[in-house]
Homo-oligomer: A and B are copies of this chain.
Amino acid sequence: MQTTAATTRPNATRTDICSGPPRRHPRPDGQDRYTISEVAAFTGLSAHTLRWYERIGLMSHIDRSHTGQRRYSNRDLDWLDLVGKLRLTGMPVADMVRYAELVREGESTYSDRRELLEATRRDVLARIAELQDTLAVLDRKISFYGDAGRAREGERTR
């Protein structure tokens, strides 16, 4: 029913990203080189989308096997986790690309990145508030339809 995201993300292993201690990544496997289809399975994104993310610069160049096939690292998976989170805040892909560029530019962009994240945080809070507002409306309407199988005062706003 939902448009944006969250459609099919089967087992998006939610690992903590960028937290305190070095934390090794408890990925499904113990190694560090995943094929595109494995990554597709982990993240719920299609292989098409993964290649597309790379093309548009949302992911920096992925390591390759000796025959040119992509080999994703745990680092790449972490990044995809973050992208997934940002995606479901409604952030446009172009903005995520901008963030990726800042990352590639190095430490000098720390404050820019922070700002971007804080703006996103504000958006998320606003969206949560909106959704809670919507929830209230839904509850009111549901209880209207629930209270009486048939009208109690005719059709108000439908």
Residues of A at the B interface (CB closer than 8 Å) are 1-4, 6, 14, 16-19, 22, 75, 78-79, 82, 85-86, 88-92, 95, 100, 103, 107, 110-111, 113-114, 117-121, 123-128, 130-135, 137-142, 144-146, 149-151, 153, 155-158
Are B18's CB and A134's CB within 8 A? no
Alpha-carbon distance A12/B68, docked complex (angstroms): 54
Quick check: A139 and B121 within 8 Å, CB to CB? yes
Task: Tell me the dominant secondary structure on chain A's binding face.
Answer: helix
On chain B, the residues within 8 Å of A153 by CB distance are 22
Protomer copies = 2
Nearest Cβ on chain B to A42's Cβ, whole angstroms: 15
What is the CA–CA distance of A119 and B37 in the complex, to the nearest angstrom? 32
